[in-house]
Structure 1
Amino acid sequence: MIELKFDGDVTGERRAVFERSAQRWDQVVNTGFDPIDIDGDILTGVRIDVSIQPIDGANGVLGQAGPTILRQGNELPLAGIMEFDRADVATLEAGGRFEDVILHEMAHVLGFGTLWSRKTCSKERGQWTPGLSVPHPQGNLRPLIRRAAVPSLFQTRVARAPAKAIGESWCSVTSC
């Protein structure tokens, strides 16, 4: 189960959007694991530190994310960070795209596009949902994916996802 740790100016309404996104990913990816002590914190699921802060001003980088601590052995994420540009958040909310960008960046924390080269995933392996090019998992990522649940993650979001949230960027970048 994904645990979100909020830092700074994240309102209750915005937290709810992050929580909803985490719940959607928990339906698709096995994010829980046996308890692990990380610097005195006992983790039983992927911890994501979330902040909304200045990055580069309006209309640049919307958000950036990735894993920060990997498990020994299988190198899957234990913890990660998601940062969103304060200058872009209100525009994303007004355009109904904030949740899309959160889902996209949360995927990077979970290893999508950030750990694939370590896990020998291939970009040429097909599609899971119409309009969203995502390789089929290979190697150590395969047991984490609940493939039957993948369409439900994006069923209402794909048509409105910003261009950088679909297609090639899932395979090649760690920030948008």
Structure 2
Amino acid sequence: MTIFRALQQLMGGAWGLRLVGSLMAMLLVIALKACGGGGGSTPVSVIPTAPPTLVPTPTSPPAAQFTIDVRFPDTSLSPSQQSIIRSAALRWQQIIVGDQPNLPPTNIQANECDRGFPSTPLNFPIDDLLVEVRARNLNDERILGGSAPCFVRASNGLPFYSVILFNTQNLADLEGRGDLPITALHELGHALGFLPTVWEPKGLTAGLVGRDQPTPAGYDPRFIGLNAVNAFNTLGGNATSVPLENQFGAGSRDSHWRESVLGRELMTTRIDREVANPLSILTVGSMADIGYGVDLSAADSFSLGRGGGAAEPLELRELDWVMPIQRIDAQGRRV
């Protein structure tokens, strides 16, 4: 007797027949799967597979970067001259790497620092230093220009708005002789705070007389910031302070490294032409002393003394230009 008929007799009736049919269908499916599926085709699972869980790779936020925003409010500098100054700003951004707190919009108005500076109200955020650059006839072709901070952060005394002025009487010659890049780099150093007006409130100088006083006999002004002193001694000096310029008159005295000792360094009062004028660890160290985060490894190699170029040094005769520095707090208010 077949299995089907035995089950039919066992279960009896239509209901039993339906049940047996279902059982036979199940047996057929099992047999097909055991043999590799009907027609030899590869079995396909119909059980849904959960998609893989994608875990995002952790990423660090981009490192903060010190930014010098150089602006030219008029057309007094040519496009090529503007490009040279922007390149000098990029070089300083390799040296100064620590971000500064952004300044919110302020109520600083146009012309508060000097005629044309600022060119507009500073009613916008500033990150990190805004430098406006113009050129004018300064009525003395021996003067190359000048630079100074005008507004500083109340929290640390570092500039957030500075100005640079070039002399239209010699600007084209500076560019034509190839002296404008190093001059721009030098002036931006002052714009960043390489000046007694920034040093003295921080206690970084010793022996300076008032800027309106005549130079006394044996005058010996010094910079006493620890980072600069360590750099000076690394370069071959042997002192507890660094000599500042003690001659050459207003605009040079007190606000540069001493030419007779540090010769070719960028922040002396002369440019040695046809040779390098290095931005050395000495100047980088002084920037650390006033509060900047710096990268000493980005400094140029340097040794004490001038080591003379083939041409006469170019005197960086600068304006005796001291802005009335004002302090602004983190909310954009005057202090």
TM over 0.5: yes
Amino acid of the residue matched to residue 35 of structure 1? N
The TM-score with structure 1 as length reference comes to 0.77
8 Å contact from structure 1 (residues 64, 83) kept in 2: yes
1:25-46 CA-partner distances (Å, limit 9, x unpaired): 1111137423212432111110
SS of residue matched to 1:137: helix
8 Å contact from structure 1 (residues 6, 50) kept in 2: yes
Name the residue aligned to 1:164: 316
Name the residue aligned to 1:52: 135
Instruction: Give the 5 Å matches for 1:58-69.
Output: 58=141, 60-69=142-151
Instruction: Give the 5 Å matches for 1:1-20.
Output: 1-8=67-74, 9-20=76-87
Q: Which runs of 5+ in 2 are unaligned?
A: 1-66, 107-122, 205-221, 236-261, 269-281, 302-307, 323-335
8 Å contact from structure 1 (residues 92, 98) kept in 2: yes
1:36-65 CA-partner distances (Å, limit 9, x unpaired): 12432111110001001111232x210100
Name the residue aligned to 2:275: none
Instruction: Give the 5 Å matches for 1:1-176.
Output: 1-8=67-74, 9-30=76-97, 32-39=99-106, 40-58=123-141, 60-114=142-196, 115-121=198-204, 122-123=222-223, 125=229, 126=232, 131-132=264-265, 134=282, 136-137=285-286, 141-151=290-300, 162-164=314-316
1:75-107 CA-partner distances (Å, limit 9, x unpaired): 101110000000010111122111111111111
Structure whose CA Rg is larger? 2
Report the RMSD for the aligned CA atoms in angstroms. 3.1
Which structure has more strand as a fraction of its residues? 1
8 Å contact from structure 1 (residues 69, 77) kept in 2: yes
Which structure has more helix as a fraction of its residues? 1
Q: Which runs of 5+ in 1 are unaligned?
A: 153-157
Q: In the aligned structure 2, how far is the partner of 1:48 from the partner of 1:82?
A: 7
Residues 1:64 and 1:38: Cα distance change in structure 2 (over 3 Å) = farther
Compute the displacement of 1:144 (Å): 2.7
Residues 1:138 and 1:14: Cα distance change in structure 2 (over 3 Å) = closer
Q: In the aligned structure 2, how far is the partner of 1:38 from the partner of 1:140?
A: 28
SS of residue matched to 2:146: strand
SS of residue matched to 1:116: helix
Amino acid of the residue matched to residue 123 of structure 1? F
8 Å contact from structure 1 (residues 3, 45) kept in 2: yes
Identity of counterpart residues, as a percentage?
Answer: 18
8 Å contact from structure 1 (residues 119, 138) kept in 2: no
Compute the displacement of 1:70 (Å): 0.1
Residues 1:110 and 1:139: Cα distance change in structure 2 (over 3 Å) = closer
8 Å contact from structure 2 (residues 288, 294) kept in 1: no
8 Å contact from structure 1 (residues 119, 139) kept in 2: no
Q: In the aligned structure 1, how far is the partner of 2:77 from the partner of 2:98?
A: 23
SS of residue matched to 1:145: coil
* Structure 1 residue runs of 4 or more that deviate by more than 4 Å after TM superposition: 127-130, 158-161
Amino acid of the residue matched to residue 5 of structure 1? R
8 Å contact from structure 2 (residues 158, 291) kept in 1: no
Compute the displacement of 1:113 (Å): 2.4
